[in-house]
Amino acid sequence: MALAAHATVASPLGEVDLGWIAAAAARVDDADLLLEAAGVVFAFNFINRIADARRVRLEYRFLRELKQTRAWIERRLASLIGLLYDLSYRHEPGRSSAEMLDRAGFLFDRLGAAEVPELFTWLARSPAVLEGVLEMLEVNVSSARVRIDLWKEAAAIAVGSRAMPGSGLGRAVGPWLSQESMSDSNARGTRTAPADLASDSGLVSACRRYAWKVANAAYTITEEQIRAIAALGLSDAEILDLTMAAALFSALAILERFRAAAQPGGLGTGGIVSYLANHPGEEAGVGQPRTIGLVGPDPGQLASNITV
């Protein structure tokens, strides 16, 4: 849980964040479990951003907000689902990892990317997770009704604002990002909106700003902002396509952090994961408070990374 939460929230990644993610990944100590967790984090990040951006509201929300019933409803629903459905079922992918990597190569080539991000090679170790990620990507590309240049730029803005340093995903989609969309290349790794995204004049500018918000602060999107984009010429279906592009690629950028944590070199130039494996008594972030067996960050340091 700590790994999932921190990999999602921390952006841009600082040294404290790298240490946190690496420490949590080292304690998982199970490559298959880490891959499965990455798949779940990807799916929830993708879905939650779409739900927030489209202003989806929870059913029976008033019950969930009552202090007396908080968390009780979720536990009862979980128990009911366990009775109604066979949760022991394991999905078997319909294609091999090699076939799916070929499909990924064809897809990125069709989109004009020079390479398939290394992330997909790591996901190939779990064919079920790779299949889920690839299916979402293929459906979004093949069924998109919004202009392809707007779709690609939304995806690139999402990656540019969420990706970690040295991101292979960033290299792949970087050419999709026009020079006008990011006036300062250093801003791609921050959660502060670039200056020229602040203007809502024109459809392209409005789409850029919307994509950035979906990736970084979807919960702040208002009905008025959506209506403003619609007034510039996009249909509701096209706005949904734009939302899904930004949500999908921001989730992929977060997923990439799991891959980096699992690699032999670990996160950061010092190879934090390898260091932790060889020095179990000297975890990253030592001296900071611990929570549920994991090294906790200084809340002040974490908050300073988030400038939305």
Q: Could you report the per-residue pLDDT of 16-27, keeping only the tens digit for each?
A: 666 777 777 777
> Are the beta carbons of 18 and 3 closer than 8 angstroms?
no
Q: What's the pTM?
A: 0.74
Average pLDDT of the chain?
A: 75
The topology (CATH level 3) of 97-256 is: AhpD-like (1.20.1290)
Rounded-to-integer distance, Cα 229 and Cα 232, Å: 5
Rounded-to-integer distance, Cα 297 and Cα 163, Å: 20
The letter for the amino acid at 170 is G
Is the pLDDT score of 135 beyond 70?
A: yes
**Peptide bond preceding 165 in cis form (omega within 30 of 0):** no
Of 138 and 262, which is predicted with more confidence?
138
Give me the pLDDT at residue 232, please: 92
Give me the pLDDT at residue 245, please: 96
Is the pLDDT score of 224 beyond 60?
A: yes
Q: Could you report the per-residue pLDDT of 165-222, keeping only the tens digit for each?
A: 788 899 999 889 875 555 433 344 444 454 444 444 589 999 999 999 999 989 899 9
Helix H segments across 263-298?
Answer: 272-278
Both tokens of 299, joined, read 């809340």
Picking from 12, 52, 45, the residue whose alpha carbon sits closest to that of residue 191 is: 12
Is the pLDDT score of 253 beyond 60?
A: yes
Q: Could you report the per-residue pLDDT of 79-125, keeping only the tens digit for each?
A: 777 777 776 767 788 889 999 999 999 999 999 888 899 999 999 99
Please state the domain extents for the chain.
97-256
> Are the beta carbons of 289 and 2 closer than 8 angstroms?
no
